[in-house]
Amino acid sequence: MNHPAPSSLAMRFGSGRAVARMEDDALLQGRGRYVDDLGQAGDGWAVFVRSPHAHAAIGGVDADAARAMDGVRGVFSGADLQAAGVPPMAGGAPFKRADGSACATPARHALAVGAVRFVGEAVALVVADSLQQAHDAAEAVWVDYEELPAVASLDAALAASARVVDDAPDNIACEVRHGDAAAAGAAFARAAHVVELTLEHQRVHALTLEPRAVRAAWDAATERMDMWVSTQMPTGVRAAAAAGLGVAAEAVRVRVGDVGGGFGMKTSPYPEDVAIAWAARATGAPVRWTAERGEEFASTTHGRDLRTQAALALDADGRILALRVHSHANVGAYATSSGVAIQLLIGPWVQTSVYDIPVIDFHFRAVLTHQAPTGAYRGAGRPEAIFNIERLMDEAARQTGIDRLQLRRRNFIRPEQMPYTNPMGQTYDTGRFAHVLGQVLPLADWDGFDARAQQSRARGLWRGLGIATFLEWTGGNAFEERVTVEVRAEGLIEVYAAVNQMGQGIATSLAQLVVDAFDVPLEQVRVVLGDTDRGNGFGSAGSRSLFTGGSAMHVGAQQTVQAARTLAAQALEAAEADIRYEAGRFTVAGTDLGVGLYELAARQDGAHIFVEHTERVAGPSWPNGAHVCEVEVDPATGAVALAAYTSVNDVGRVVNPTIVRGQLDGGAVQGIGQALMERMVYDGASGQLLTGSLMDYAAPRACDIGAHFSTHMDETTPSTNNPLGVKGVGELGTIGAAPCVVNAVADALARAGHADLCAQLQMPLTPARLWELLQGSERPAA
């Protein structure tokens, strides 16, 4: 295939350029198309009645008073939907219990049937002419609850004083082992150094600016359901809605407009999606629902939440002999496929990270409690795994006396070992980890730290220096993507992909790849996303949007140019080898004969040139990084301030530097938030959610990050698993940030004479928690 040299257009707007996001003009002008913007006159407004109990039997739902209220179109309970044939949500996970039986989990319904299992679970649905009428009627719905013993915490679940489901008397939904426990035991027995830590990965909330939202409309004439949903994965919502309605998947159309943040929380279908679709058909009119902030805190999937016993065995020179990680993951009241797989499989894939670790002993258990289910949250298992190994590495350096940089370098996987297969059977195609570490140290002025620490001490503050070196897995193990490319006679190239925008700028990046191939102005490219009638796929999760979707668009656009070249040769009556293409025009070499791209499209049937292409990448990508941060700790109050944060990130080829940097920065801020302040808290006795609003749940703000925040990208090691050479970046910053920050606080404590406290640090490092730890120390304050 002949490819033209990049023209001025491609040089200005194509890949590698910091093109302004195409999405932003409409958003800044208030022309965004969020679900809540799409309602129409005559829509029914939906409000859910939610459980105030962590665990209770439902004796009945009395909705007569609510149904009699003005404007009420319908009130539905779980029993109503069950009687109508609505099946439970698809659930469970492909893992086993210790006895070989299937993963244990209660059946989950669109509206609770028989019992509620966490505070905030939807029990009934009210649809009315206005939102206020729906709220008023929801308050009139009476539910007969018989409160039952609640498994309100991980400790309570492991004590098995009460059960979440009869199939699991120990409350263990399922479990898995990886590695060789006997070989690891032998390695620990002969080790010169053994380092052990107990690590708490607290439950966190995704906190998207736009809450979940659905608008559903049933067309009785065509027997089709049309849904607008704020989701990352519309094909999954389509399947769930179709199952709930008892129709073929093709009878449901799911469309996605603008999405105000997802962070993994909007990947799986929710019971509310099914209930709203069913109510739209039952009432005979469109129904709309947008969650309130309190509903989001209580009823969306949460992230993280596990307790880990981690141990590292090292020889006398500091080389790692074995890694042991045993975890209990609180997956909440329903063991969802994603919530379980994230902790039992996906996180473990990267647990050995950038280090050449020969032997592992992993044992992971998914534990049921009467809390909201967990699921994907930015990083999805990888932040937990990297936190484990990076905290171990720093603690090993303290206990052995080996410099922490040298300890890392001594154990890095070397470039000549690539492709490298880790003990979990995952193959890294590329990676130069020492090279990345070498770049970040001068950028962070590592060697100048002591002078800055003295300045801090003069102000009564303890300064600490933290580091994390790590990698991450991207691709969602969904390596295939379909795209369509249509050259239209009116002077437009319209492309479609099944990946979705959710604030990350993917439409702009895809458009830049089209410019690369077609050499036309960016405004002549229209990117269409999120419509299951146009195409279906995995969606956007696992940092795969550009990795897979972009690769498919890159090849599909090139194939379309080639198809057009063939048509041009026919139109110009010339040999295809003599056809040249540049800036939207085909010419015959050595002549003045030519035809424009759009003119050529006008001559075809349908006045367009249309190509459908499916691309499969060879495997996941393995972005990696080295992050360095400095903190100042106030020993009088326990307050931690971020003084500086510097990162170098191996992200392969970069299509849009501004977008990539934004993803890296945003991810890092979320990781910093987990390290210092974010935490979902349930009452240990009642299972009541105590952090159910932004008055109770702290999230990072710009003032918490500090002025010295520097992000750098390394493009020298492209991925070999996709034609673009790109690596996923959406979650990379999150994965490195938390261990980097906590390691910095540990370093501050160690330099102040409190090395014995470093192993006791647990996220979030709020002032109160850190102050209490310092006050409990028997050492005098330094």
Q: Is residue 224 located within the same domain as residue 316?
A: no
DSSP structure string for 261-283: --TTTTSS--HHHHHHHHHHHHH
pTM for this predicted structure: 0.96
Q: Is residue 734 located within the same domain as residue 773?
A: yes
CATH of residue 82's domain is 3.90.1170.50
DSSP structure string for 31-59: ----GGGS--TTPEEEEEEE-SSSSEEEE
Q: Is residue 154 located within the same domain as residue 138?
A: no
Residue 782 has pLDDT above 60, yes or no: no
Domain that holds residue 515: 8-32+477-616
Q: What is the phi/psi pair of residue 732, to 5°?
A: -60, -45
Helix (H, G, I), strand (E, B) or coil at 256: coil
Alpha helices in 421-579 (DSSP H): 433-443, 449-458, 506-518, 551-572
Q: Is residue 608 located within the same domain as residue 649?
A: no
The angle formed by the CA atoms of residues 91, 96 and 98, to the nearest 5 degrees, is: 140
SS (H, E, C) 315-359: CCCCCEEEEEEEEEEEEECCCCHHHHHHHHHHHHHCCCCCECCCC
Q: Is residue 99 located within the same domain as residue 157?
A: no
Per residue in 644-691, pLDDT (tens digit) is 999 999 999 999 999 999 999 999 999 999 999 999 999 999 999 999
Evaluate whether residue 426 is within a structural domain. no
Q: Is residue 466 located within the same domain as residue 603?
A: no
How far is the C-alpha of 540 from the C-alpha of 546, rounded, in Å?
A: 9
Domain count, the chain: 4
Per residue in 249-280, pLDDT (tens digit) is 999 999 999 999 999 999 999 999 999 999 99
Q: Is residue 604 located within the same domain as residue 646?
A: no
Residue 539 has pLDDT above 90, yes or no: no
Q: Is residue 17 located within the same domain as residue 164?
A: no
Radius of gyration of the chain (CA): 28
pLDDT of residue 544: 79
Could you check whether the bond before residue 419 is cis, i.e. omega within 30 degrees of 0? yes
Sheet with strand 594-596: strands edge to edge:
579-582, 585-588, 594-596
Evaluate whether residue 501 is within a structural domain. yes
Span 97-107, average pLDDT: 97
Residue 422 has pLDDT above 90, yes or no: yes
Question: Residue 307: which of 357, 398, 369, 354 has the closest Cα?
Answer: 369
pLDDT of residue 11: 62
pLDDT of residue 41: 96
Yes or no: say if 235 and 536 are a contact pair by the CB < 8 Å rule: yes
How many other CB atoms sit within 10 Å of the CB of residue 656? Answer: 24
Yes or no: say if 437 and 721 are a contact pair by the CB < 8 Å rule: no
Evaluate whether residue 420 is within a structural domain. no
Per residue in 446-499, pLDDT (tens digit) is 999 999 999 999 999 999 999 999 999 998 787 888 999 999 999 999 999 988
pLDDT of residue 7: 58
Helix (H, G, I), strand (E, B) or coil at 318: coil
Question: Residue 285: which of 216, 211, 210, 369 has the closest Cα?
Answer: 216
Length of the chain: 782
Q: Is residue 53 located within the same domain as residue 73?
A: yes
Q: Which two tokens stand for residue 189?
A: 């027995």
CATH of residue 775's domain is 3.30.365.10
Distance of CA 381 to the CA centre of its chain: 10
